[in-house]
Amino acid sequence: MEKALLSRHPIGLYRDRQHRAQVVALWQEAFGYETAHNLPSLAIDKKLAVNDGLFFVATDKKAVIGTVLAGYDGHRGWLYSVAVHADYRRHGLGSSLVRHAEQALTALGCMKINLQITGGNDAVVGFYEALGYGVEPRISMGKKLLVNIPTQS
């Protein structure tokens, strides 16, 4: 599943040497990460260590214009880091990225996909609802394992 058929911009697997700097810049622009456990370079390194083939980029010529990072643990699939460059938003690219990840997860046997939306980013709820996702009565909890998070200098 190297190319998505839905998008006019190709969607393919993330390639570290080719894409890293552009993905880091896109995530900084889109998400403005401020905590060490979310630093783009660390997130990329951790994802590459898993090597599960669930990290995709959309490109326009050679420029990265969108990403979707997905995960699957054998029980549930997850969508993380769905980002589209500001110049390419509201043209269906985000939907194509999500659908591409859904197809990859479906091929692995995934039966349900979860995602979380950061508080204060309520505007994106409608985007996901249009793609068939719904708000579920859940409480999201987390615990940082500080031993695995490098200190920022």
Residue carrying the six token digits 């999201």: 140
pLDDT for res 8: 82
Helix or strand holding residue 97 (H, E): helix 93-107
Q: Closest Cα to residue 80, out of 108, 52, 59?
A: 52
**8 Å CB contact between 66 and 57:** yes
| CA gap 59, 67 in Å, rounded | 9
Confidence (pTM): 0.88
pLDDT for res 153: 58
pLDDT for res 78: 97
- Name all domains of the chain by residue range, CATH numbers in brackets: 11-148 (3.40.630.30)
The packing angle between helices 40-50 and 16-31, to 10°, is: 130
pLDDT for res 3: 42
Q: Is 87 helix (H, G, I), strand (E, B) or coil?
A: helix
C-alpha distances (whole Å) from 59 to each of 18, 31, 144 are 11, 19, 33
pLDDT tens digits, the chain, 153 residues: what are they?
334 434 589 999 999 999 999 999 999 999 887 777 778 999 999 999 999 999 999 999 889 999 999 999 999 999 999 999 999 999 999 999 999 999 999 999 999 999 998 888 888 999 999 999 999 998 889 998 988 888 765
Q: Closest Cα to residue 49, out of 78, 71, 80, 22?
A: 71
Q: Closest Cα to residue 47, out of 70, 63, 22?
A: 70
